[in-house]
Amino acid sequence: MAKMQQYQPEFMILDKLFGHLSADLGIDLGTSNTLVYAKGKGIVINEPSVVAINTRNGQVLSIGHEAKAMLGKTPQHVAMSKPLARGIISDFEVVEKMLRYFFNKIHRDHSMFVPRPRVVVGVPLDVTEVERKAVGDVVLSAGARDFFLVEKPLAAAIGVGLPISEPVGNMLVDIGGGTTEIAVISLNGIVTAKAIPIAGDEMNRNIVQYARDVFNLLLGERVSEEVKIAVGSAVPIKDRLEVSMRGRDLLSGLPREIMVTDGQVREAIARSVRSIVEHIKSILEITPPELVADIYRRGIVLTGGGALLRGMDQSIATGTGIPVRVAEDPMSAVARGNGLLLETEPLLRDLALPKTDRIV
């Protein structure tokens, strides 16, 4: 025991030194993209949550943009991993390697030292204790010296500048890749909320199914997402948009290209859009009337990549009768909020979820 006490101060000093050489980080572990905010620098990582692995030796071949470019084009010995499902870790080892890669990329100017950042990570609304433990363990295994977990809607609200500490109702809808999270926030807490598995990825699947049913065309995942980004919309738009859609003909088995319009893609994703609007209405129905009055006056704020779908704000405004605005740079809201919390220690400790026991 005496020996341990003798070396403890040296360990603390060394850990503190590594801390000064590492940038504190705010992380959004998203189903589609992982974003990292470095204190004093802003968003420094915005890459797809995709990893390519050589199954023969377990070696990581590529991560992020390079790995996403390989989707659907790999030989049999290369496995493509999307290690996050609905914002939850589905493959611990792959997420650890991905985060370690990002940590090293951020701290490459200090390549002589092992990065030991302190991190704030956004987690989904419905995260379980086991899932929280997995997130904490994976960031520590990747090299973090300490971590805090904050629910994503709270982080996003801070990232877009909502006054969450005041006694007023703030409604935020975060439409990500795997989930849409709807929350009413007041006095640093979530009053009413819901997370649904209908978001950007589900809309991509809607387009794949529509192409199969209407055109007998089998689409790849990347193509459906590109089509959605190019011409997708939630409401009719003024100028007609058109894009080519390439895939495999289900009848002949040969490659085929067709042109699709914004109206056809809107028809494909209509059910998902309606479902999101209906779930927002259901949350409003169970929100205290005083907060609903605030929301009606202040409006609803949209964040996440899905907020960029043309007319999504109009569709929600029409369905709820409440003004809706898309946050500035909605995709980075969670990461920015987590990063800003690093600069506000009392608020961070107030919002952070309790830590579970760590794996020794």
Cβ-contact 170, 157 below 8 angstroms: yes
Whether residue 128 contacts residue 306, with contact meaning beta carbons closer than 8 Å, is answered with no
120 in Cβ contact with 340 (< 8 Å): no
Distance CA 199, CA 180 (A): 5
Residue 62's pLDDT is 94
User: Residue 238: CB partners within 8 Å, gap ≥ 6?
Assistant: none
CA distance 246 to 232: 16
Q: And the tokens for 89? A: 């870790």
**According to the model, what pLDDT value does residue 221 have?**
87
- pLDDT of 11 reads 41
Given CATH 3.30.420.40, say whether it is the number of domain 10-154+335-351. Answer: yes
Confirm if 183 and 295 have CB atoms less than 8 A apart: no
Which parts of the chain sit beneath pLDDT 50? 1-15, 17, 359-360
**Residues 6 or more apart from 176 whose CB is under 8 A from it?**
30, 31, 32, 87, 199, 200, 304, 305, 306
Q: What is the predicted pLDDT for the residue at 233? A: 97
Among 138, 68, 155, smallest CA distance to 100 is for 138
Residue 129: both structure tokens together: 């204790």
Distances (CA, A) of 91 to 52, 81, 98, 134, 216: 13, 8, 11, 10, 34
Predicted confidence at residue 197, as pLDDT, reads 94
